[in-house]
Structure 1
């Protein structure tokens, strides 16, 4: 029987992972940056410019969003540490997307590298 670790390792063997030092350039070159973490993780802080599509809903979200239908879009994905993003990247490849990358180390590596984080705006009380 396969474990989650086995599934992630198999996914990582067939996807492209971008090293954290090359992630900013990959994001600039991408058409879409997708955060596949859960909604509460995204709301707590995310990479600027990222759209949210949790791993559990990713295939449904991209299938129902016309702007995400072209299979030649350059997609960069991330999660907390890279496991969910690897599984998501493999799923998108299975759906026919041709240029999918995952950020090695995920959001944790992004933060550790001192990269910018978008935080939710706090309401102004007057």
Structure 2
């Protein structure tokens, strides 16, 4: 499965966060699209509307397991998707900004 390290992500890369609502509300990458894995198939259309047509979807969760499942699903649908290695834990540890659902500094739950 294709993966990408947090350090290799550029500002503006399309990021899909598949963690659950409580995790998202505690802290997420600003600008990410949030579709929890538990709702993913039902809300798939939101991704196809928001994702860049010719760009890559970077899928992230807490540590990489759930995002790996979604990455495999997207690849089967013909979407250029990669799993963010280490997830939000590595994102935060690398000093990348984490905001809560009010736009204030957040944390990884």
For the criterion TM > 0.5, the same-fold answer is yes
Which residue of structure 2 aligns with residue 87 of structure 1?
A: 69
Which residue of structure 1 aligns with residue 87 of structure 2?
A: 106
Say which structure, 1 or 2, has more relative contact order (CA 8 Å, 6+ apart). Answer: 2
How well do the aligned residues superpose, as a CA RMSD in angstroms?
A: 2.2
Contact 2:71 2:81 in 1 (8 A): yes
Task: Give the paired residue count.
Answer: 103
* Gaps in structure 1 of 5+ consecutive residues: 1-14
Structure with bigger gyration radius: 1
Contact 2:16 2:33 in 1 (8 A): yes
**Shift in Å, 1:56:** 2.0
Structure 1 position 54 matched with structure 2 position 36: yes
Report the secondary structure of 2:62's partner residue: coil
Report the secondary structure of 1:59's partner residue: coil
Contact 2:63 2:86 in 1 (8 A): yes
* Gaps in structure 2 of 5+ consecutive residues: 104-109
Which residue of structure 1 aligns with residue 100 of structure 2?
A: 119
